Amino acid sequence: MSKYIVETEQFRFSNYELHLLRSRFPYKKISFEEIDKITIGRGIRIKRALVALLFGLILFGGSIYVFLFFTIYGNSMMEDGTGPYAFEAYKGLGQFFIMGGFLISLGAVAIFQAVVPTWVLKVGIKEGSTHVLSLKKLIQTKEVLKLARFYAQDQQT
């Protein structure tokens, strides 16, 4: 039996402290005396959602702009077929589909991460920082009830 009450890829609770994890190894231990507030609710699972949203919009919008530029400029060169750059326009359009598809996908993922809320555990530290931890794995394995029971028991004492 594990000595931890609840364990995910991002964190684990023992009887005395919260361990923040990277690659299953603790990089920070927070005792329960240092914790000011714990909240379970729906929220964004990344800290800087506005930056991620802006990044995604820039990638997505820039890719669409470049796509329209290549389409309009490439079509004008390909229509007459006499220009010395007609073949290069076809190559450029094909290269854009590969590059643009990747950038549009990356932008869409960044926008998705910044906008769609999931179940998170927000841990407020008395020194002023906040840690946002995803509860997706706990909900899938139905161990979130263990966390709720532990939290309720800890609040009573």
24: left (phi over 0), alpha (psi -120 to 50) or beta: left
The single-letter code of the amino acid at 138 is L
Average pLDDT estimate for 37-65: 90
Q: Which of 19-23, 36-40, 87-91 has the lowest mean pLDDT?
A: 87-91
Say how far residue 65 (Cα) sits from the centre of its chain. 25
| pTM for the model | 0.68
- The tokens describing 46, both together, are 């990344």
Ordered DSSP codes for 31-50 = ETTTEEEEEEEEE-SSS-HH
User: What is the dotted CATH code of the domain comprising 6-44+117-133+141-156?
Assistant: 2.30.29
Each residue of 53-112: pLDDT tens digit? Answer: 999 999 999 888 877 777 776 666 555 555 555 556 666 667 777 888 888 999 999 999
Q: Are 92 and 132 in contact (CB under 8 A)?
A: no
Query: What count of Cα atoms within 13 Å lies in the side-chain half-sphere of residue 28?
Result: 8
User: Model confidence at 124, in pLDDT bands (50, 70, 90)?
Assistant: confident
Q: Which of 6-15, 104-113, 114-123 has the lowest mean pLDDT?
A: 6-15
Q: How many CB atoms lie within 10 A of CB 10?
A: 19
Q: Which of 60-69, 73-82, 123-132, 147-156 has the lowest mean pLDDT?
A: 73-82
Q: Is the C-alpha dihedral spanning 125, 143, 6, 133 positive or negative?
A: negative
